[in-house]
Amino acid sequence: MWELTALLLLVPSSGQAATLEKPILSLHPPWTTIFKGERVTLRCDGYHPLLLELRPISTLWYLGHLLLPSHKKSIEVQTPGVYRCQTRGAPVSDPIHLSVSNDWLILQVPYAAVFEGEPLVMRCRGWYDKVVYKLHYYHDGQPVRYFHSSANYTVPQARASDSGRYQCSGTMRIPVESAPMFSAKVAVTVQEARHAAAVRLLQVQSRRAPLRLGRRVHSPRARRRGAGIALVRGCYHHSQRPETQPLAAASGARFSPGRGVHHRPGPTGRGFGAR
């Protein structure tokens, strides 16, 4: 009996599997470009069933279309490419693109999406953390910030106009000061703020929904049929005056004590709509 129970726990129900969200793939340190020979850690956070199982929970790792041999929750990598992960019963995660460079200078930007109003941080790194002097940051070919030596460039509150291609330049003492060197250009996209996207979604949904609390409105279909629809709490229906008014003033009205969508008859005398 115990073995049967354990076997049932191995397989999530179809309803549970259908509602699982894709796992969150994160990168530590959070930079998408590294020097050759360096390693970073990828971590996959997703759904994990109960511990009463006959085998450990597997996490699948993908490099491009190649399935990696590890099944741990986190792995160390140094190979460039597009990484994804997947936990049992869930969809595949969003990708992280890792780049590996042999240049003396690299511009590092965060792997996670940057939204409007959030800080945008990037750093210019010399080969294996050598100090960079006379450091310039560029946005779409135009200089935007100068530092005497190594420092991060931060936009405190990013805007859509901060999207574009960034680059940095500077000198290094190897052992004497070198000529100015330039990093490769990196594309950065600042996405619309989360709350703004949510408000726009609500506006789209409100245009589709015909109901408004406390006032009479008409859906396109009901308007063609001649039905007036009101969304009220404890409402009544009167053939002469369908608008909401105090109950005492509605003599002859039929009262419904609960929430619901109530209507008056159309031209044919039949009612349209339902709860």
Angstrom distances, CA of residue 110 to CA of 21, 42, 79, 212: 23, 14, 18, 43
- Flag whether 252 is in a domain: no
- Flag whether 166 is in a domain: yes
- pLDDT band with cut points at 50, 70 and 90 for residue 256: very low
- Strands 24-28 and 33-35: what pairing? unpaired
Q: Which of 42-51, 180-189, 227-236, 242-251 has the highest mean pLDDT?
A: 180-189
Number of domains in the chain: 2
- Flag whether 251 is in a domain: no
- Res 172 pLDDT > 70: yes
The CA distance from 160 to 43, in Å, is 29
First to last CA, the chain: 48
Percent of the chain whose predicted confidence (pLDDT) is above 70:
59
- Res 112 pLDDT > 50: yes
Nearest by Cα to 134 from 172, 102, 101: 172
Residue-number span of the structural domain to which 59 is assigned:
24-101
Angstrom distances, CA of residue 222 to CA of 25, 81, 174, 271: 48, 55, 78, 11
**CATH (domain of 177):** 2.60.40.10
The CA distance from 145 to 123, in Å, is 12
* pLDDT of amino acid 200: 53
* pLDDT of amino acid 20: 77
Q: Which of 160, 191, 222 is the last residue of a domain?
A: 191
Are 86 and 40 in a shared domain?
A: yes
The CA distance from 105 to 134, in Å, is 13
Q: Which residues pair with 41 in a beta bridge?
A: 28, 76
The CA distance from 118 to 112, in Å, is 12
